[in-house]
Amino acid sequence: MTDKEIYDLWLSKFKDLRYLRPRRWKHLKDFIQKNSIKSVIEFGSGVSTLLLDSLNLDILSLETNKFYMGKVHSLCSSRVRFKLWNNMSLDIQESFDLSLVDGILPRLDQIEYAMKHSRFIVIDDYIAKSNKLLTGYKRVDLSSAPLGIFIPKDNQVMVDVGKIFSKYPNIHKLKYTNFYQRHFVNLQPKLLLEIGVLKGDSLRAWKDVFPNCKVIGIDINPLCKAENPDLNVYIGNQKDTNFLSKIINEVGLPDIVIDDGGHKRSEQVETFKFIFPKLKVDSLYIIEDLQTNYLDKWNDQKLSAIDYLKSLIDFKEHLKIPYKSITFEPNKGQSICIIKR
């Protein structure tokens, strides 16, 4: 649908106030297209939701009115996630490329959330000027539309994970680009450990994403070390706890662990059980490709990693291995999980 068709559809269904003006939308759309924006959180569902949806973005739309939300939902594609927001709490941990804090009366917690969890904040110029919170921010778009786009003054070059991944032809992560963009933006890890090196391109990409971080890899295949002398690679089995202990003793505890290794049920479970409880609070542990849990080739034990991770939600297990959040993200037949210590 063209923008005009979306507006016409909207006006035929709703004749109400929630209305992102075409001039503002044109300006926002140009910005989104030029800056590889892939994911957006918006406060308040409306015509903006349909317009953003037309750009094939990952969208989380928060809305306080259940009836209204249902109506907007029925007009959007399945890519858009809606969350009923009870106006009391804003309990979201995810990060997005862009936060749309539109409207003339944004709440303080929306702005604070946007500052913590997004690369760009879209907000009315009037609010930006009058709100002291945004004094450390600068307007990055030069348009005269009253909806400004802001980034922190000291963070002029925003990391674009998609661009970095595209530099590396042998990386096995393109399907998770949006996931990593959302979860890794604004992190400053000192040590990242990836299990599964293969050609080494993911380790190289992590070094680009986090230039001040030491990046190390584990692989069972000795060629991964021999063929990548530029990388810190340790050769061994991810299930071998003596091997893992030796590495941790040598380099310390990672702030981020990514399991993209053997993908067998036992490997995903054993490695997590050994490493995760040792991690410092707020460290992240990611397991890629959990769909393998359901495929014969990787099905080597009764307990799947998905079932094991689900069991952590159980109160008793939760106390044994405390963690802050556990988030599964299905993605076109691929599935990934991020657990925050």
Ligand X SMILES: C[S@@+](CC[C@H](N)C(=O)[O-])C[C@H]1O[C@@H](n2cnc3c(N)ncnc32)[C@H](O)[C@@H]1O
Binding site residues, ligand X, CB under 6 A: 171-173, 194-198, 201-202, 218-221, 224, 237-239, 260-262, 267
How far does CA 48 lie from the centroid of its chain? Answer: 21
CB closer to ligand X, 219 vs 255? 219
Closest distance to ligand X from the beta carbon of 47 (Å) = 39
> CB-wise, 63 or 260, nearer to ligand X?
260
CB nearer to ligand X: pick between 44 and 217: 217
Residue 263 C-beta: closest distance to ligand X, Å = 7
With respect to ligand X, which residue has the nearer C-beta, 266 or 283? 266
Q: DSSP labels for 7-75?
A: HHHHHHH--SS----HHHHHHHHHHHHHTT--EEEEES-SHHHHHHHTTT-EEEEEES-HHHHHHHHHH
Please enumerate in sequence order all residues whose Cβ is within 8 A of that of 156, keeping only pairs 6 or more positions apart, or say none.
none
Closest CB 199 distance from ligand X, rounded Å? 6
Number of Cα atoms under 13 Å in the Cβ half of residue 7: 10
**C-alpha span between 97 and 117 (Å, rounded):** 8
Which of residues 28 and 192 has its CB atom nearest to ligand X in the complex?
192
H, E, C per residue of 114-173: HHHHEEEEEEEHHHHHHCHHHHHEEECCCCCCCEEEEEECCCCCCCCHHHHHHCCCCCCC
> Whole-number minimum distance, CB 266 to ligand X, in Å?
9
Q: How far is the CB of 194 from ligand X (least distance, A)?
A: 6
Residue closer to ligand X (CB basis): 52 or 159: 159
Select 31 or 168, whichever has its Cβ closest to ligand X: 168
Could you tell me the smallest distance in angstroms from the CB atom of residue 176 to ligand X?
9
Work out whether strand 284-287 and strand 256-259 pair parallel, antiparallel, or are unpaired: parallel
Residue with tokens 């106390």: 319
Nearer to ligand X, 94 or 267 (CB): 267
Nearer to ligand X, 6 or 235 (CB): 235
Half-sphere exposure (Cβ direction) of 35: Cα atoms closer than 13 Å: 23
Q: Which residue is nearest to ligand X (CB)?
A: 262
In the complex, the smallest distance separating the C-beta of residue 200 from ligand X, rounded to whole angstroms, is 8
Q: Nearest CA to 250 among 193, 300, 289, 207? A: 193
What is the 3-state secondary structure of 192-208?
Answer: EEEECCCCCHHHHHHHH
Starting at the edge strand that comes first in sequence, how are the strands of the sheet with 80-84 ordered?
80-84, 58-63, 39-43, 96-101, 118-124, 147-152, 137-139
Beta bridge partners of 308: none
CB of 223: closest distance to ligand X in angstroms?
Answer: 9
Q: Taking the complex as a whole, how short is the minimal distance between the CB of residue 329 and ligand X, in angstroms?
A: 17
Say how far apart CA 331 and CA 88 lie, in whole Å: 30
